Amino acid sequence: MVPFGRFVVSLFCSLFIVPVAAQEDKCVLHYSNLDKTVTACSEVIASNDKDQLAGALAARCAAYALQGQIETGIADCNKALELDPNLSDAYRYRGSAYGFLGEFEKALYDFGKAIELNPQDAKALGNRASLLLNLNRDQEALADAEAAILMEPEFHSAYVTKGLVQSRQRQYSRALGNLNKAIELDPTHSPTYRARGIIYIYMKEFDLAIDDLNRALDGVPNDAVAYFNRGLAHSSLRDFSNSIKDYDKAIQLNNQMAAAYYNRGLVNVRLGNRAEAKKDLEKAVAIDPSFAQRLKQQ
């Protein structure tokens, strides 16, 4: 059976948390209360106070993007940059919004511009590191993450990125150390538990993997990757009943996950469910023909 994925990070899930400067506490980015941010910043924008207008637009841009109103948010950042082309926060927030849209080259440009304008912007470096990781540019991601940590030693997501790069390099002990640090800094961040759970699977610490994947699913109940990997951990412990349940859930959430059909098929083989196994393995190959070669190696 195979673990799933390249440890894809949940991009930008905690990277909008720095308040915008020069707002006199009227309009800052309240990560836990985005409606408050939108309301307060809209009031500042309506007042047309030229000293605060660009910063207020940038903060509202970030809040809108996190609420899923991404195009509206980008429009606010565009206006902010028209007013102040050197506002690094606006580039960083717009870069994250572009990341949400999958427009990665635009996101990279904006993060780069933010760093050019403010070389000490650890958050921009961390954002770019996360994006580079998802683009499989691992060494660049690692360099940005390490630079961000030097600037801001308690920057949670930079440790996550560093750990994920190390996990790809099969440096599991080092990866574990960085993810442990990330969890110490933010014990509520579910994707970090998922990442650490997958590393535990590679280290054959299946009980620890299940504990972490349970924590991940407590925070993000519809995480197909977490269900898949918990299913793998269960099957490695020969708990085939719970393994099948987890693969079922993973497939329910993502019916194009070839690895879930493949692994469920192998569990069904072990259980003697030949018809179900044949159906699952054929489905895996139909979605991803590379699984045909895996089957030959079984």
Per-residue pLDDT of the chain (298 residues; tens, 9 = 90+): 655 433 333 333 334 434 333 344 568 777 668 888 899 999 999 999 898 999 999 999 999 998 889 999 999 999 999 999 999 999 999 999 999 899 999 999 999 999 999 999 999 999 999 999 989 999 999 999 999 999 999 999 999 999 999 999 999 999 999 999 999 999 999 989 999 999 999 999 999 999 999 999 999 999 999 999 999 999 999 999 999 999 999 999 999 999 999 999 999 999 999 999 999 999 999 999 998 888 777 7
Architecture of domain 9-118: Alpha Horseshoe (1.25)
pLDDT for 25: 54
pLDDT for 32: 67
pLDDT for 235: 95
State the Cα–Cα distance between residues 21 and 93, nearest whole angstrom: 13
Question: Is residue 186 exposed (0-12), middle (13-18) or buried (19+ Cβ within 10 Å)?
Answer: middle
Query: Are 125 and 115 contacting, i.e. CB atoms less than 8 angstroms apart?
Result: yes
What are the C-alpha distances in Å from 150 to residues 33, 104, 118, 140, 293?
29, 25, 15, 16, 45
State the Cα–Cα distance between residues 243 and 232, nearest whole angstrom: 7
H runs (alpha helix) in the chain: 34-47, 53-66, 70-83, 88-101, 104-117, 122-134, 138-151, 156-168, 172-185, 190-202, 206-219, 224-236, 240-253, 258-271, 274-287, 291-297
Is the dihedral angle over the CA atoms 211, 217, 218, 219 positive or is it negative? positive
Q: What is the dihedral of CA 147, 149, 153, 157, to 10 degrees?
A: 150
State the Cα–Cα distance between residues 62 and 36, nearest whole angstrom: 13
Query: Are 229 and 253 contacting, i.e. CB atoms less than 8 angstroms apart?
Result: no
State the Cα–Cα distance between residues 291 and 211, nearest whole angstrom: 29
pLDDT for 3: 52
pLDDT for 22: 37
**Residue 87 — φ and ψ, nearest 5°?**
-85, 95
pLDDT for 115: 97
Q: What is the dihedral of CA 66, 101, 119, 85, to 10 degrees?
A: -90
Rg of the chain over all Cα atoms, to the nearest angstrom: 22
pLDDT for 37: 87
Is the dihedral angle over the CA atoms 82, 84, 87, 90 positive or is it negative? negative
pLDDT for 210: 98
